[in-house]
Amino acid sequence: MVLLEKISLKEVSNILNRKFIGADNHVISGLNEIHNVGKGDLIYVDHPKYYKSALNSLADTIIIDKEVEVPVGKALIISDNPFEDYNKLAKLLFPESQPTETQKSSKIDPTAVIYPNVYIGENVTIGAHTTIYSGVCIMDHVGIGEHVKIGPNSVIGHSAFYYKQTKEKHIQMHSIGNVKINSFVEIGALCTIDKGVSASTVIGHGTKIDNQVHVGHDTVIGKNCIIASGAGISGCVTIEDEVKIWGQVGCASNVKIGKNAIVLGQSGVTKNIEGNKTYFGTPCKESFQKLKELAALQKLPEIIKNI
């Protein structure tokens, strides 16, 4: 996520009280995770397995738990606990706002219809002819397009379910991302759409989401998708255009569902699946194959009996 104001390496070092390697005036323009990283970003790494990928990434600044050779043009911050230092920096540079009755930083189109008992956070945009029903909670930095409908008691932009596990406890990473809902999207009642950890959770143009659906952090849903009631989409999922996901489907993190795929009800998506096919089962397979397996399984007691 891009910083509102750039900050120098020396300033960050002073905030964290850590040694740094690099020029005092080396500039940091954003914080990010390694899979979303861009030029000017700061990331952290705390395991030798990931040193190489972190140092060779687009990130210009790396918080790391060991002194290593610094790539040209980059800088290091040496830390005993890179995760906690990154989290400290994220909380300082991207603080959560306190609830207020008036959000002066939010922009709501005059044609939008906002029902009573809706909470709207800071730096929210709501486009023309959008309708937000009672009980909806829209957290900070959410962008909502035109002709969008959000059903009662849904939550848009809650913190990512993302934790660092230690021997003593689970430590939540401070989410600094956001949610972007494009135009002509419909979101049902009692849905939750988590914001990105350091990037955006995106709902594509014209997508329709039924009641009681969860969409995890950093997930990107394409255009004109259909997602039925009770579906659970984990974090960092990519759902391409015109996908249909029917009721109570569960989707594991970091998977990709191809364009125009259909996932039948109560299926479990555990790995990437291709577009233009219909899937069923857990783990899901092409439906005709899975149904053949189930039909064969029904014959198993008779086969065993005749052995």
Tell me which of 26, 141, 214, 217 is the catalytic residue: 217
pLDDT at 304: 79
Residue 128 confidence (pLDDT): 98
Q: Structural domain boundaries of the chain?
A: 2-93, 107-291
A 10 A CB-CB count for 260 gives: 16
Please give the CATH number for the structural domain made up of 2-93.
3.40.1390.10
Hunting for tokens 């956001």 — which residue is that?
178
Confidence at residue 168, expressed as pLDDT on a 0 to 100 scale:
83
Please state the CATH superfamily assignment of the domain spanning residues 107-291 in this structure: Hexapeptide repeat proteins (2.160.10.10)
DSSP H or E segment with residue 271: none
% of the chain beyond a pLDDT of 70: 99
C-alpha distance across the termini of the chain, in Å: 64
Q: For residue 306, what pLDDT is reported?
A: 75
Those residues of the chain that have pLDDT short of 50 are: none
CA distances from 306 to 281, 294, 297 (A): 29, 20, 15
pLDDT digits (tens, 9 = 90+) for 7-43: 999 999 999 999 999 998 899 999 998 888 899 999 9
Q: Tell me, what's the pLDDT at 101?
A: 61
Helix (H) or strand (E) holding 55, with range, is helix 51-55
Q: Would you say the CATH fold of 107-291 matches that of 2-93?
A: no
Q: Which residues contact residue 176 at a Cβ distance below 8 angstroms, ignoring those fewer than 6 apart?
A: 1, 31, 90, 93, 94, 197, 198
CA-CA distance, 153 to 175, in Å (whole number)?
Answer: 22
217 catalytic residue (yes or no): yes
> Tokens 């990519």 map to which residue?
238
